[in-house]
């Protein structure tokens, strides 16, 4: 049973080692990984990247709203979404001086998660479909049982309900997980 292949295609490097409950040779439907421009926040992106996602990748300085209002939007989102069950998890990255917070409820899949994290931590390489090299990072999370897991193995909804905390690990450490 292939189950709902609602997880993104960026974990392709794991395909060979995945346990599949189906006849050999069947392919799990992959979502194409879009190469979202990940240059650090210095150059504005030229327009929306995907029409169908509700949560758009943010263009620098757009919409033209003052920081005070932007911050009050974020605060508001926190307040309102929390009431309806927002799933806020802390995100740490090795070497970064401070952590971030992210609401998994507003995301729709691993691909979006990766995009948002890349934007937050301005990293050009967070591991990828092409595998990761020495300079790469891997996205891991701590689940309900306190175990450190690699992001991408389980269906998205299951991930959202079990993820307690995210950690972006340096490639050299993370390799032990694959």
Q: Of 53 and 92, which CB lies nearer to another protein in the complex structure?
A: 53
Query: Applying CB under 8 A, which residues contact another protein?
Result: 42-44, 46-48, 54-56, 59-70, 72-73, 76-77, 80, 106
The CB-of-77 to another protein minimum distance in angstroms stands at 8
CA distances to 41, 43, 58, 65, 84 from 61, in Å: 10, 10, 9, 8, 29
User: 105 near 83, Cβ under 8 Å?
Assistant: no
Q: Of 18 and 82, which CB lies nearer to another protein in the complex structure?
A: 82
The CB-of-96 to another protein minimum distance in angstroms stands at 17
The CB-of-112 to another protein minimum distance in angstroms stands at 11
Q: Of 105 and 165, which CB lies nearer to another protein in the complex structure?
A: 105
The CB-of-48 to another protein minimum distance in angstroms stands at 6
């Amino acid at each position: 049973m292939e189950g709902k292949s609602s997880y993104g295609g960026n974990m392709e490097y794991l395909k060979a080692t995945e346990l599949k409950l189906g006849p050999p040779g069947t392919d799990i439907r992959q979502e194409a990984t879009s190469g979202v421009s990940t240059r650090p926040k210095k150059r504005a992106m030229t327009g929306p990247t995907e029409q169908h996602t509700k949560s758009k990748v943010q263009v620098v300085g757009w919409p033209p709203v003052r920081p005070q209002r932007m911050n009050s939007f974020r605060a508001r989102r926190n307040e309102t979404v929390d009431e309806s069950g927002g799933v806020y998890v802390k995100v740490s990255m090795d070497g970064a001086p401070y952590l971030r917070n992210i609401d998994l409820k507003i995301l729709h899949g691993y691909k979006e998660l990766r995009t948002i994290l890349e934007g937050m931590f301005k990293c050009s390489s967070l591991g990828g479909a092409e595998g990761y090299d020495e300079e790469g990072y891997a996205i891991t999370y701590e689940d309900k049982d306190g175990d450190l897991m690699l992001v991408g193995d389980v269906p998205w909804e299951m991930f959202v309900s079990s993820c307690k905390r995210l950690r972006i690990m340096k490639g050299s450490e993370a390799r032990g997980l694959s």
